[in-house]
Amino acid sequence: MEIKLNLISPEKKEEISKKNQLTATIRIEIFLTVILAVFLGMLLIFSYILNLNLNSTLTAEKKSENSGKYDKIKELDANFSQANRNLTDVISIKNSQLHWSKMFVKINSLVFPGIKIISVVTNDYSVSLGGISDTRDNLMLFKDKLNSEKCFTNVNLPLADLVGKSDIVFQIDLSIDKNCLKN
């Protein structure tokens, strides 16, 4: 059997007990401080990671927003280009449009009493005028007026049409300058 003798005084025992409690309290406080520091460190790391993700998301959103704007601009540019091509085609068609009414106005200005135009036949830039003249002199005068007009070339009146003296049925063939039919 073993006997234990306690030779420490009660004040000393109390002092040792308080010292052990103080040491235990300091160890617990150090442990809790370390855990708190680790927890705060993790929170700071999470906060940094979340800020990085937020910044990358905002950047991607701005890029997609700008990309949408650029896509819209490209679409509008394509629409404008197509409209310009269509307008160019319309202008080209308008400029190449032939105005046959100008030929009729010129012929009408050359016709005088005694000449009646009965038919007008066109083939490309060739025109055949059919009609009746009351006299041979009026028919010759009409042919001369057609020859003097700069828009009409190759004016041809067959000699057979000049045989009669009055009420002559005639057919005059002529060519028209393209430029006279355009605006």
Cα separation, 67 vs 63, whole angstroms: 6
Here the tokens at position 27 are 């160890």
Cα separation, 151 vs 154, whole angstroms: 10
C-alpha of 147 from chain center? 51
The pLDDT tens digits of the residues spanning 110-153 come to 888 889 999 998 888 889 999 999 988 888 999 999 888 888 88
| Superfamily of the domain at 100-181 | General secretion pathway protein M, EpsM (3.30.1360.100)
Helices (H) and strands (E) in the chain, counts: 4, 4
For residue 183, pLDDT over 70 is answered with no
Which single residue is written with the structure tokens 């629409």? 79
> Would you state the pLDDT for residue 70?
80
Distances in whole angstroms, Cα of residue 168 to Cα of each of 7, 120, 134 = 168, 17, 6
Cα separation, 14 vs 20, whole angstroms: 10
Single pTM value for the model: 0.51
The answer to whether 114 and 135 have CB atoms below 8 angstroms apart is: yes
End-to-end CA distance of the chain: 139
SS3 percent helix, strand, coil of the chain, rounded to 5, is 65, 20, 15
The pLDDT tens digits of the residues spanning 60-94 come to 888 877 777 787 888 889 999 999 999 999 988 88
> Would you state the pLDDT for residue 24?
95
The answer to whether 157 and 145 have CB atoms below 8 angstroms apart is: no
